[in-house]
């Protein structure tokens, strides 16, 4: 049996995080190294590595949940739009990145940075209020 992924540790509460949403199948939280404040990860709770290995219902549910979360991010951040990235290499656990965008061509991992715990908590609260 493999060791738990960092996302499994986040879901279990072993690693501090700013949770946005949770239900029986999915977990949504702020990225600790955001491209922009409000950068959110949407994950299935089941630790399947490759997004295209998800069963059809989980795959569709993941994207359906993203359509619920993205407008809340947009309202909370006042961004122009929310971009989505599925790159699949950072963590061996399928996930979507929802990134508030304020200008074109802004999604670049070189822009990742840290934010203060206070800023992260405040942003999580703003997004939750918009759900």
- 67 domain residue, yes or no: yes
**If we measure between CA atoms, which residue out of 83, 104, 8 comes closest to residue 38?**
83
- 29 domain residue, yes or no: yes
User: What is the pTM (predicted TM-score) of this model?
Assistant: 0.89
- 117 domain residue, yes or no: yes
- 1 domain residue, yes or no: no
DSSP 115: -
Distances (CA, A) of 50 to 61, 68, 78, 92, 93: 16, 23, 32, 7, 7
The CATH code of the domain that includes 120 is: 3.30.428.10
Tell me the per-residue pLDDT of 33-67, one tens digit each, with 9 for 90 and over: 999 999 999 999 999 999 999 999 999 999 999 99
Looking at residue 1, its pLDDT comes to 58
Q: How many domains does the chain have?
A: 1
Structural domain that includes position 109: 6-130
- 66 domain residue, yes or no: yes
Tell me the per-residue pLDDT of 10-29, one tens digit each, with 9 for 90 and over: 999 999 999 999 999 999 99
- 90 domain residue, yes or no: yes
């Amino acid at each position: 049996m493999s060791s738990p992924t960092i996302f499994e540790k986040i879901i279990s509460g072993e690693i501090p995080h700013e949770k946005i949403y949770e239900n029986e199948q999915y977990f949504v939280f702020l990225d600790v190294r955001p491209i922009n404040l409000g950068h959110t990860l949407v994950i299935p709770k089941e630790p399947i590595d490759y997004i295209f290995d998800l069963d059809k219902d989980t795959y569709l549910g993941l994207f359906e949940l993203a359509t619920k979360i993205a407008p809340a991010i947009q309202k909370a951040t006042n961004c122009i739009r929310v971009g989505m990235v599925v790159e699949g290499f950072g963590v061996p656990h399928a996930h979507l990145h929802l990134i508030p965008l304020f200008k074109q061509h802004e999604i670049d991992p070189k822009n990742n940075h840290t934010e203060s715990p206070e800023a992260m908590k405040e942003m999580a609260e703003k997004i939750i209020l918009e759900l």
